[in-house]
């Protein structure tokens, strides 16, 4: 007999699982910010090349990470059923597919200069971008393996190690990148290659730490994750592949929406693009909280679904949504009451055009308040749907919402209706509302019924 948990009990369990994941996501953002700041001090072309190279790497990473992310709900469901053998099978094939994707995508990084030139980049930036990607591209395999192990450990509710390992990675990356970019502590001055080498080393070290923990931690040894790792499991691989590729495409659709918005904002003006970048950074920081809660919701929904606990699944979903919504309300209040103070944190007020950037950024944060709740609800719905292993229809909903509704609305409102950057962000809001509405409807109609 399954005993019904109280809502406060669900809230405590969700926060215990979600808070370390939130911290890990915020620390992961700090990894990317570190390289940007250091290369900003080093040189303009080098900064542009690494921003370009990192964004190219990230797009491919998002696509390939679907297999790693599929591990989380699959392992959680297997645990809910008490099937420890399936835990190992699913996690292992998630690792296999991550390796396969990383190997297959590397030629794109090796020959990236012609691609970057075809996309209109300056020759020097394209050359440096290829230098960066030829080294950093080797990091795709360990980066995806890290994602798979994080998903595996989160499903097992071992999220503290994920947080501390990510924080360790931030510190190691800062020290290595500083030494290798600028030639400090006896290291050669390598510029963009130094940033790439530091990133690669950090990814390898992070994987090694998580792999050792997963293999040797006493409570996890019984899963024998790496025992006879070389043996293929075609049935489990097929299951991970079928669940994972739509997750990757969904992530690509969403990240592509924001890439397109930056491109269109660049058409409007430099001041507007600068304000857009700052406002997006602020919104992204808030989003990390919703993403961590969504990951927790995936694990708990997967466990409940695997155990056949329909009441627990629906109650847990209500609590996770309420927590995310409550934080969203706090962010809405902050964005509406102190937008100029927030934007000012990113700027030197003695510089030219700072006042213009603050003025426009204030408008964008007001619009960010509009889509804050929609963004929270769409990522929460995605997390819950992944928990019940429903990924294909959400992928279609994301593609339609973002690329058939959001991007066209942004373009029409910004350029045809003459609303400029404000119209562009209104279009983003419309796309996110469409995604949140369709995905929430999908979850509540697909979630197992009580009784």
DSSP letters for 114-162? HHHHHTT--HHHHHHHHHHHHHHGGGHHHHHHHHHHHHHHHHTT-HHHH
Do 148 and 249 belong together in one domain?
Answer: no
Q: Does residue 237 lie within any of the structural domains? A: no
Q: Does residue 173 lie within any of the structural domains? A: yes
| Count of structural domains within the chain | 2
Do 368 and 299 belong together in one domain?
Answer: yes
3-state SS, residue 285: helix
Report CA-CA distances (Å) from 435 to 24, 65, 322: 26, 21, 18
Do 167 and 272 belong together in one domain?
Answer: no
Do 211 and 278 belong together in one domain?
Answer: no
Task: Check the CA dihedral 340-344-350-351 and report its sign.
Answer: negative
Give the residue from 232, 254, 277 where a domain finishes: 232
User: Whole-angstrom Cα distance, residue 143 to residue 56?
Assistant: 14
Among left, alpha and beta (phi > 0; psi -120 to 50; other), residue 187 is beta
Do 273 and 207 belong together in one domain?
Answer: no
Q: What is the full DSSP assignment across 381-450?
A: HHHHHHHTT--HHHHHHHHIIIIIIIHHHHHIIIIISS-HHHHHHHHHHHHHHHHHHHHHHHHHHHSPPP
User: Whole-angstrom Cα distance, residue 58 to residue 90?
Assistant: 25
Cβ-count burial 192-209 (b if 16+ within 10 Å, e if not): bbbbbbbbbbbbbbbbeb
Q: Cα torsion at 151, 34, 255, 406 (round to 10°)?
A: 130
Give the residue from 232, 267, 288 where a domain finishes: 232
User: Whole-angstrom Cα distance, residue 199 to residue 188?
Assistant: 16
Of 20, 59, 57, 19, which Cα lies nearest the Cα of 35? 57
Q: Does residue 240 lie within any of the structural domains? A: no
Do 212 and 280 belong together in one domain?
Answer: no
| All residues at 6 or more sequence positions from 238 whose CB lies less than 8 Å from its CB, including other chains | none
Give the residue from 232, 257, 286 where a domain finishes: 232
Do 278 and 173 belong together in one domain?
Answer: no
Q: What is the full DSSP assignment across 342-355?
A: HHHTTS-TTSTTHH
Q: Does residue 446 lie within any of the structural domains? A: yes
| All residues at 6 or more sequence positions from 186 whose CB lies less than 8 Å from its CB, including other chains | none
pLDDT of residue 267: 82
Query: Are the C-beta atoms of residues 76 and 155 closer than 8 Å to each other?
Result: yes
3-state SS, residue 372: helix
At 6, phi and psi to the nearest 5? -75, 160
Do 89 and 218 belong together in one domain?
Answer: yes
Report CA-CA distances (Å) from 430 to 33, 159, 287: 29, 34, 17
Enclosing domain of residue 18: 1-232
User: Whole-angstrom Cα distance, residue 238 to residue 91?
Assistant: 13
Q: Does residue 384 lie within any of the structural domains? A: yes
3-state SS, residue 82: coil
Of 62, 61, 91, 65, which Cα lies nearest the Cα of 77? 91
pLDDT of residue 451: 54
Do 256 and 222 belong together in one domain?
Answer: no
Task: Check the CA dihedral 129-170-328-316 and report its sign.
Answer: positive
Task: Check the CA dihedral 62-68-72-77 and report its sign.
Answer: positive
Query: Are the C-beta atoms of residues 132 and 43 closer than 8 Å to each other?
Result: no
pLDDT of residue 155: 92
Q: Does residue 238 lie within any of the structural domains? A: no
pLDDT of residue 1: 54
pLDDT of residue 149: 95
Given a cut of 50, the residues of the chain with pLDDT beneath it are none
Among left, alpha and beta (phi > 0; psi -120 to 50; other), residue 5 is beta
User: Which tens digits make up the pLDDT trace of 189-235?
Assistant: 888 899 999 999 999 999 999 999 999 999 899 989 998 888 889 99
Q: Does residue 239 lie within any of the structural domains? A: no
Q: Does residue 299 lie within any of the structural domains? A: yes
Q: Estimate to the nearest angstrom the gap between the alpha carbon of 47 and the chain centroid.
A: 22
pLDDT of residue 14: 92
Write out the two tokens for 150: 């994080």
Do 212 and 146 belong together in one domain?
Answer: yes
Do 318 and 261 belong together in one domain?
Answer: yes
Query: Are the C-beta atoms of residues 450 and 409 closer than 8 Å to each other?
Result: no
Do 132 and 110 belong together in one domain?
Answer: yes
């Amino acid at each position: 007999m399954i005993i019904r948990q109280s809502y406060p009990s669900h809230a405590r369990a969700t926060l215990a699982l979600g808070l370390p994941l939130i911290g890990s996501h915020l620390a992961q953002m700090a990894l990317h910010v570190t390289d940007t700041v250091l290369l900003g001090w080093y040189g303009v072309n080098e900064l542009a090349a690494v921003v370009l190279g990192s964004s190219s790497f990230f797009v491919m990473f998002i696509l390939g990470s679907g297999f790693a992310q599929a591990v989380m709900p699959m392992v959680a469901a297997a645990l809910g059923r008490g099937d420890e053998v399936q835990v190992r099978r699913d996690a292992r094939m998630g690792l296999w597919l991550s390796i396969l994707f990383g190997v297959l995508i590397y030629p794109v990084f090796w020959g990236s200069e012609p691609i970057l030139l075809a996309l209109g980049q300056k020759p020097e930036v394209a050359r440096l971008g290829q230098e960066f990607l030829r080294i950093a591209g080797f990091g795709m395999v360990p980066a995806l393996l890290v994602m798979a192990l994080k998903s595996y450990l989160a499903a097992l509710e071992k999220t503290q190690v994920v947080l501390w390992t990510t924080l360790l990675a931030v510190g190691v990356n800062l020290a290595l990148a500083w030494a290798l970019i600028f030639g400090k502590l006896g290291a050669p001055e390598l510029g963009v290659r130094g940033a790439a080498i530091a990133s690669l080393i950090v990814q390898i070290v992070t994987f090694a730490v998580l792999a050792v923990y997963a293999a040797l931690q006493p409570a996890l040894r019984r899963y024998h994750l790496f025992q006879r790792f070389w043996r293929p499991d075609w049935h489990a691989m097929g299951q991970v592949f079928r669940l994972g590729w739509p997750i990757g495409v969904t992530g690509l659709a969403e990240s592509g929406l924001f890439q397109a918005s930056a491109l269109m904002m660049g058409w409007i003006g430099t001041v507007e693009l600068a304000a857009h970048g700052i406002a997006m950074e602020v919104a992204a920081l808030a989003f990390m909280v919703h993403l961590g809660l969504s990951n927790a919701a995936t694990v708990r929904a997967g466990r409940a679904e695997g155990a056949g606990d329909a009441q627990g699944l629906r109650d847990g979903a209500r609590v996770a949504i309420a927590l995310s919504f409550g934080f969203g309300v706090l962010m809405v209040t902050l964005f509406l009451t102190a937008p100029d103070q927030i934007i000012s944190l990113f700027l030197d007020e003695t510089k030219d055009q700072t006042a213009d950037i603050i003025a426009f950024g204030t408008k964008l944060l007001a619009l960010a308040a509009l889509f804050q709740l929609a963004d929270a609800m769409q990522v929460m719905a995605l997390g819950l749907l992944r928990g019940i292993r429903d990924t294909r229809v959400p992928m279609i909903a994301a593609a339609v919402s973002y690329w058939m509704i959001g991007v066209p609305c942004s373009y029409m409102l910004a350029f045809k209706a003459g609303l400029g950057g404000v119209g562009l962000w209104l279009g983003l809001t419309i796309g996110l509302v469409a995604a949140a509405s369709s995905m929430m409807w999908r979850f509540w109609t697909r979630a197992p019924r009580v009784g």
